[in-house]
Structure 1
């Protein structure tokens, strides 16, 4: 690259619950409010704090000034403005940034990763802390008490640093059923809800907000203060692999739930409260329109496209996030192929490097929160990376390298590119020294570093972390996954279930000897993908051979057909599909429960099923309780289900629900009472 290239010229610029299961939606919402699960009124903004907040220190002394207490985080024995909780978060952040040197400020612009399995790798953490990195993602899947204890230990180490800057600890979603490396974390002790696409199937913003409030309480209990969620993408390309993390196929459906989720997580309607969790809404914008459904974690999938000229609908869900003053936005990896905004083709780089896309966010929509890059957009992608495809993981020996459109830049130039474009904190690249290099090379202004660091630190002040970054591990045990939280999760799981077929009113099943009856109903069941204990609790005898069963209940997962894993139809080689066919041919009444992580083609499944009860992530207990009528399925499809891959190939990837002859239209769902709801 020569120094006369347009990109390098730009780099030099400085511009820019049991009982709950029987309640209806309104009743559930009222119960959630009464139980304190759903914020009944917006939380007071952090800047309005005038009363003495709770303080906790492990090493910093406590100062007493004007009858108030403050933490002496810099250890100078005097009240420094950034230590004064009576001042606004913005003023405190500016004061602190003014005291940091370039290396210390650069560390604030890095969103690092906490390594480790059963516990965190302290040596790796301390190496990053020595580089002044104070924001981290946690993927540790352990019990709540251990997670809280680990986070307290890390906060104590941060407190002992020269300015005592507390850690912001983030997480990918932990409350769903689908676990994907680098994208979600197993729920473990956390209350389990359907995947986001199932929340769209329930389509109750009141319940979505209550769910968000539960997640907020559980995250804060273990010391997590930032959620890398929700996905505001819309599922317009049926083959795309990340549909399960969206709320559905249309902008309006997603808008309803993005706003409710953000309000629940952040603790109110007007931004992040002191007890809130910062939401990072992603992936700005158009990630759901991936060419042929390919994933832009990979080089071959780096493009999204808008052949239906429908980019505007992909922005609609973000309007709800802005209305609730979401704390963060994450740009997509994708290059928006040949997209025009106001007649101008956007720069053909990933959105995290695009002045056009981030200018639309800042100037067009007035967003003034923190922009967090997706992971690895400053990394290298050598030939092995370019050749890599699923099912291989997108991170290889080269690390994470999703620097689409800027591959020819140096690492320092890529940092300058994304920060100049508008990103405030860079995810997944633990090398703040490249920011320092960029400033010293004159391709990144230190004033821009100051601006970004001020935004990042202001959020920590808003959350009260400079007063008390610690949690109570014993309380985490009581909060995370408690009975009330779990009951709400199970209720939403049941309500998301979508009845697609129910020949001769197969469902709900009548279990023999249930309610004192004898001589009638189902006694034996064959299970595939369901644990026997869940059936035994309901009085059913589990058999190993479908020929011996009255009923077969078969779970089916996404077939991910074809060499590129984007196929939506069952080929006949899948073990779960073969189990369904075998049960049908053995004469058992067959109940299929496909998990609709994407809009699967179910023609073959319908042929071999008496009833089809689709799920979006559901426990065995909730599934079987619904099968026997102890809960009612009331979900509606959050996207259409196509009838063939030929029609999928012919649809427009940026337009929702546009196959020619869908098997089921969006919004379809039967009830046990008969008919389409």
Structure 2
């Protein structure tokens, strides 16, 4: 792109006319520049800004963005032809390649009439778990505990440090928006998305969510040129899921709350608003039969639609009651048509069967677009269909003033973050920033601190022979079981395959969380512990019921995102652990079933209370 020199300063000629326009003048405030750009845009260009698409890749899952290299012809269509300039990346690539690939997208954007740069977003990348639609692999990035692991440490300072390091790594490869943090409260232990939350304590989650935003956005007063914008989610009550079934699936499309319990779920968002979080993402789910008398809605029954279509939740509760001024980005796939296979698949759902238009299934796509935009969504997550939005506007379903409001909200962060001046990144520098020695060291120290000991094992003597199972034997020599002085086995929270034909349900961990007597893992623990003192390490993507196994074990640890070598060093050396449970561990499935899905810490006689470890059982 050509540049202009004026008063010793350099300006990019974004609109290619050789004249310094107001929106090109980086001396001016972001708000003035955004308004000037908005006034120059065609309706089609505005519609493109209201889309948040996916950067497409080579390979069989290219439409989902999963791959090692962008498919530039497809992305040219999105960026240059359709005017889409917010894209989610799911790229799996080393830091240099990642930066070069994102630069390639920005060079496409520079060809457009107004040179609007692409805002590139990502799901979380720095943790151990990765599930399509919720998180991505930590390829090359420093690796940290799950957010539940950060909550186990319970330090706002640590969370802010993590987010600041993640921010530097993101910006180094050209990522500008984090579709995180989750301010969801883990009130239902069977819910499969707990590992992405800060646990079950609303007050702790409130503080840690805010710390995450401050670290990621590089301050508490809004965005600046160093920021990665945060989208806090999911507004609101998403985890109050009957039987723990998730809203990605038709059978999990409802959350059940009362007005009192909704206030508990709202609390975790409040300090994020105070530190000026950039964006909010509404919940997939319908808050079923919820009557709100005090929370801004004056006794209205909440409309039976998902959060992204709810005027009451967005314009009423979020904007009017809590004075949120940023943008609202809908979640993905809520505008797609529901099919028979969406509700009752007779074989494995394909990506084409994925849709979550809960409560608005009977509406046309134009009507769904309009309903979300009029409810308060400024951008349509997972959508690239500019033509349908234009038809909705042409049909009078969306006022032009509402379009301008939404587009302004989406343009403003681009100016605040300096993307119009510096859309490209230094690919060579990315190599030294992403996964740097200091970042990796900090992540590993956080892993060590997050480890929770529920039952202190006997001291492992120097030279003891150790049998390892489900742990990388290359980290520590593993002897045959018959020769072992102690066994260390890693297991996960039990789960059941209840919905094998559902794309997400088959990939999520659902169902009971107890170690049933006939289960393979239970029998294996019995076999090991009958031969040798056994230490169990439990990866708890969900809380586990360990009532029937704890007595037979010599030691019990909870792993919320810990590398094998960090884990083994802590156990073998008998290190004191710092982590405390970020959720309670129920005593039985009966207690889980009798508890409410919308309230924290309410199971009867939990085996371990929240914030427990071996020192305060």
CA distance in 2, matches of 1:331, 1:511: 53
Partner of 1:493: 447
What's the CA shift for 1:632? 3.2
The structural deviation recorded for 1:575 is: 5.1
Query: Which of these residues, 63, 67, 76, is aligned with residue 8 of structure 2?
Result: 67
1:574 to 1:529, Cα distance in 2 relative to 1, 3 A: farther
Correspondence 1:114 to 2:55: yes
Corresponding residue SS for 2:475: helix
> Match for 1:198 among 135, 149, 165?
149
Equivalent residue number for residue 64 of structure 2: none
> Contact conserved, 2:126 with 2:138, CA < 8 A, in 1?
yes
Q: How many Å apart are 1:373 and its aligned residue?
A: 0.3
2: CA distance between counterparts of 1:383 and 1:396? 14
How far apart, CA to CA, are the structure 2 residues paired with 1:268 and 1:308?
A: 33
Contact 1:193 1:493 in 2 (8 A): yes
Partner residue in 1 for 2:227? 276
The Cα offsets for residues 105-145 of structure 1, whole Å up to 9 and x where unpaired, read as 10000000112212011122112111000000011111111
Q: Which among 307, 331, 337 is matched to residue 380 of structure 1? A: 337
Partner of 1:348: 304
Give the 3 Å change call, closer, same or farther, for CA 388–191 of structure 1 in structure 2. farther
1:402-481 superposed matches below 5 A: 402-481=356-435
Q: How is 1:223-238 mapped onto 2 (pairs within 5 angstroms)? A: 223-238=174-189
Query: Matched residues in 2 for 1:77 and 1:319: separation?
Result: 46
1:525 Cα deviation (Å)?
Answer: 1.5
Q: Which runs of 5+ in 1 are unaligned?
A: 1-59, 513-521, 536-540
1:289 to 240, 255, 275: 240
Residue aligning to 1:139: 90
Cα distance, 1:563 vs. partner? 2.5
Distance across 2 between alignment mates of 1:156 and 1:462? 20
Contact 1:379–1:401 under 8 Å retained in 2: yes
- Contact between 1:528 and 1:579, CA under 8 Å: does it hold in 2? no
- Runs (5+) with no aligned partner, structure 2: 58-66, 294-298, 500-509
1:581 to 512, 522, 526: 526
CA distance in 2, matches of 1:630, 1:119: 45
The one of 496, 499, 502 aligned to 1:561: 496
Match of 1:50 in 2: none
Residues 515, 521 of structure 2: 8 Å contact kept: no
Q: Which residue of 1 aligns with 2:75?
A: 125
Q: Which of 256, 259, 283 is equivalent to 1:332?
A: 283
Maintained 8 Å contact 1:527/1:552: yes
SS of the aligned residue for 1:556 comes to: strand
SS of equivalent residue, structure 2 residue 352: coil
Question: Could you tell me whether the CA contact under 8 Å between 1:289 and 1:653 is conserved in 2?
Answer: yes
Change (3 A) 1:607 1:562: farther
- Whether 1:370 aligns to 2:327 is yes
Residues 122 and 178 in structure 2, CA contact (< 8 A), matched pair in contact too: yes
Report deviation, 1:562: 5.8
Change (3 A) 1:568 1:534: same
Judging changes above 3 Å, is the alpha-carbon distance between structure 1 residues 176 and 414 closer, same or farther for their aligned structure 2 residues? same
**For the residues of structure 2 that align with 1:469 and 1:585, how far apart are their CA atoms?**
61
Q: CA deviation at 1:577?
A: 4.3
Q: How does 1:117-196 map to 2 (within 5 A)?
A: 117-129=67-79, 130-196=81-147
Q: Under a length normalisation based on structure 1, what TM-score does the superposition of the two structures give? A: 0.85
Question: Residue in 1 aligned with 2:597?
Answer: 653
Runs of 4+ in 1 over 6 A off after TM superposition: none
**TM value normalised by structure 2:** 0.93
Task: Kindly state the Cα deviation for residue 368 of structure 1 after the two structures are TM-superposed.
Answer: 1.0
Aligned residue pair count = 591
1:676 paired with 2:616, answer yes
Deviations 1:281-338 (A, max 9, x none): 0000011111221100111110001158411010011111001100010000110011
Offset at residue 346 of structure 1 (A): 1.1
Output the CA distance in 2 between the equivalents of 1:298 and 1:659. 26
Aligned to 1:483: 437
Q: 1:375 to 1:621 in 2, by over 3 A?
A: same
**Partners of 1:110 and 1:430 within 8 A in 2:** yes
- What does 1:312-327 correspond to in 2, within 5 Å? 312-327=263-278
- CA-CA distance at 1:383 after TM superposition: 0.9
Contact 1:350 1:403 survives alignment (8 Å): yes
Please report the RMSD computed on the Cα atoms of aligned residues, expressed in angstroms.
1.6
**Secondary structure of 1:288's partner?**
coil
Q: Is the 8 A contact 2:259 2:290 kept in 1?
A: no
| Residues 1:542 and 2:478 aligned together | yes
Shift of 1:561: 2.6
- 1:603 maps to 2:547: yes
Q: 1:357 aligns with which of 285, 294, 313?
A: 313
Distance in 2, matches of 1:592 and 1:625, equals 15
What does residue 537 of structure 2 align with?
A: 593
User: What is the deviation of 1:511?
Assistant: 2.5
User: 2:493·2:543 contact (CA, 8 Å) conserved in 1?
Assistant: no
* Whole-Å separation in 1 of the counterparts to 2:590 and 2:306: 30
